[in-house]
Structure 1
Amino acid sequence: MTDESWAGWYRDRGGSEAVVLTTDGQQLRIRIRGVDFEGGSFDGLAPVPGATPESGMFALADGALTDCVLEWDLPLPVRVEGTVRQATLGCLLSLRRADPDLYLTLHLDGAVYESARAESDFAAALAAIQRALPDGVQLQTCIACAFSDYFPATGRGLSGSLACFRGAKDAYRDAEGEGAVLGLWDRRTGFVQEIWSCEEFEVRPAKGAGTGHRGTFPLEPLEPLELLEPLESA
């Protein structure tokens, strides 16, 4: 995967500054006030090994950034009647509460499509936007892809716990239900961000085989559960 960089802003009680978020679809990286942070989820950004922020420079919870707001824009591919077009996704993430608050806005052809103001994760926010889009317009991101799924019996988390099965496409095309995904779990390629998109994207089936454990997209609402770190050896 090729890195992408997204310009944005970081704000906390110490002030605000322009930042650049960089990701390869799996790991996120950001430099704030000269300190490098990285993590697999937007609520898991921790100082890189060897980085030693001055005491009080940042609020950290379990080693990760908290009590702050991140805001950024990124180009997002959408399919309009089968033709790929570029839209812009605006992301506003507040980590100032026990649970993250996320708000997404999709800008396409002068129109704006919004999620709820306080979504709990990227999967739910992107599903809300997909439901708002006109017929014939579809997001082309990992959450809408035919080869992605979540580990059965866990919650989704804010981001980054979506498993990619692009290395086992034929097998996943026949997968339906929890047991089928569990049987394929060790064949996953890795974990990806829900807002990522790659050249191997295929539209997720509307029903039946190929819908895996999580089902179709837009997703059905999930009861919020605390999610552990991505299960590399589950």
Structure 2
Amino acid sequence: MKRFPGYYRDINGSESVVFALEGSAYAVTIRGVRFTARQPEDFEPEEGTPEERLSTFSLATNSLVACAYGFHVPLILVCPDHTEEVILSVAFCLEATHTLTVRLLSPSLDLSAQDDKDTYFDAALERLLAQLPLQTHLRFCFGCRWGAIEPCYGLNGNFGCFRTRKAEREAAQSHKALMHLWPPPEHRQEIDRCEEFTPRGNRNWQAH
């Protein structure tokens, strides 16, 4: 299990929280209530949570709204002649205006990208990676050659890993081919990582 320091804020107050990756899902406990999400923009209270414990939260279609939250992920940036530790900061604002901001910080780097229309995590990450210098990449699942976004939903689908079916993933270079390949052997989160990471290079998820 990987854990990331973060925060939560709404009309009833703010607090420091810890976000975790549990398999293919996110989890966080806020004011003693556990929330989970397949995608970080859609946190829902754990099934069976008593209604009275949700009285201080705003929910729409069972997902958190009228709030702001974020977390900080340590990653490795691989450059042509060195590697360096960086922090990926993720900030969701689901208040009157919905925005998602991702920011990459290190002593030598400060890049940011937003999705202020749909708060799609993958869309914001793609814009962030497009700003990296040539021959530079981040070591995480979203930047891996064996990953893929669920093809039916553009840049808002579940993220899949094909590390056990590399030849098939390599051959699936079109949207149609990826649809035939789906579902993946396993689902992962974009910020996760493993030892089989291989940079995806110039492959752009938008092409799918």
| TM-score normalised by length of structure 1 | 0.78
Contact 1:25-1:196 at 8 Å conserved across structures? no
Residue 107 of structure 1 is matched in structure 2 by 105
Residue 74 of structure 1 is matched in structure 2 by 73
CA-to-aligned-CA distance 1:63-120 (integer Å, 9 cap, x gap): 121111002211022211175432111111112258x411011012332111137363
Q: How far has the Cα of 1:192 moved from its partner?
A: 2.0
Stretches of structure 2 that go unaligned for 5 or more consecutive residues are none
Residue 166 of structure 1 is matched in structure 2 by 163
Quick one: which amino acid aligns to residue 168 of structure 2?
A
Quick one: which amino acid aligns to residue 161 of structure 2?
C
Residue 154 of structure 1 is matched in structure 2 by 153
Residues 1:92 and 1:185: Cα distance change in structure 2 (over 3 Å):
same
Residue 5 of structure 2 is matched in structure 1 by 7
Contact 1:35-1:53 at 8 Å conserved across structures? no
Stretches of structure 1 that go unaligned for 5 or more consecutive residues are 207-215, 223-234
The SS at the match of 2:165 is: helix
Contact 2:70-2:92 at 8 Å conserved across structures? yes
Q: Is 1:58 the counterpart of 2:54 in the alignment?
A: no
Q: How far has the Cα of 1:4 moved from its partner?
A: 0.8
The SS at the match of 1:123 is: helix
Residues 1:74 and 1:123: Cα distance change in structure 2 (over 3 Å):
same
The share of aligned pairs that are identical, in percent, is 28
CA-atom RMSD, angstroms? 2.4
Contact 2:123-2:155 at 8 Å conserved across structures? no
Residues 1:154 and 1:116: Cα distance change in structure 2 (over 3 Å):
closer
Q: Is 1:179 the counterpart of 2:180 in the alignment?
A: no
The SS at the match of 1:173 is: helix
Quick one: which amino acid aligns to residue 108 of structure 1?
S
More strand by share: 2
Residues 1:169 and 1:43: Cα distance change in structure 2 (over 3 Å):
same
Equivalent pairs, count: 206
The SS at the match of 1:87 is: strand
Residues 1:96 and 1:195: Cα distance change in structure 2 (over 3 Å):
same
Of stretches 120-129 and 71-80 in structure 1, the one that deviates more from structure 2 is 120-129
Q: Which of 178, 187, 191 is 1:191 aligned to? A: 187
Quick one: which amino acid aligns to residue 14 of structure 2?
S
Q: How far has the Cα of 1:142 moved from its partner?
A: 1.6
Contact 2:103-2:111 at 8 Å conserved across structures? yes
Residues 1:46 and 1:114: Cα distance change in structure 2 (over 3 Å):
same
| TM-score normalised by length of structure 2 | 0.87
Q: How far has the Cα of 1:46 moved from its partner?
A: 1.4
